């Protein structure tokens, strides 16, 4: 249920995000004389902050294929331990060299 509310909230804020981006562009344009005043910089910063906090960010790719253990390169595997609609708990497991005890 919360995931649907999150999606609905994001969709409802989309027009406000677009408006905030337009306001930021207007008040940060160097050809606009107001952009050189403290008021103009304040409005541009506020609009940018709103746009960035309501932006949708994708899940990062970690790209951890290898690591170094005892000065030797070993493979790393990414395993999902726990999965929810908002996030995944990821564990990185190293392929330890023979005879090496886990930390």
Q: How confident is residue 16, by pLDDT bands cut at 50, 70 and 90?
A: very high
Query: What does 42-61 look like in DSSP terms, one character per residue?
Result: HHHHHHHHHHHHHS--PPPP
> Does the predicted TM-score (pTM) go above 0.75?
no
- Phi first, then psi, for residue 69 (nearest 5°) are -130, 125
Task: State the average pLDDT over residues 28-41.
Answer: 96
Q: Note the pLDDT of residue 53.
A: 94
Percent above pLDDT 90 for the chain: 54
Helices (H), the chain: 2-28, 38-54
28-33 contacts: CB < 8 A, separation 24 or more?
none
Q: What would the pLDDT profile of 38-85 be if each residue is shown by its tens digit?
A: 999 999 999 999 999 999 888 778 888 888 887 888 889 999 999 987
């Amino acid at each position: 249920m919360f995931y649907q509310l999150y999606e609905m909230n994001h969709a409802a804020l989309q027009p406000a995000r677009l408006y905030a981006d337009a306001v930021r562009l207007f008040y940060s344009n160097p050809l606009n004389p107001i952009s050189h005043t403290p008021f103009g910089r304040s409005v541009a910063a506020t609009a940018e902050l709103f746009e960035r906090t309501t932006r949708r960010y994708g899940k990062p790719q970690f790209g951890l294929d290898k690591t170094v253990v005892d000065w030797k390169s070993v493979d790393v595997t990414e395993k999902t331990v726990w999965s929810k609609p908002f996030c995944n708990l990821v564990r990185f497991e190293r392929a330890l060299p023979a005879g090496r005890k886990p930390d």
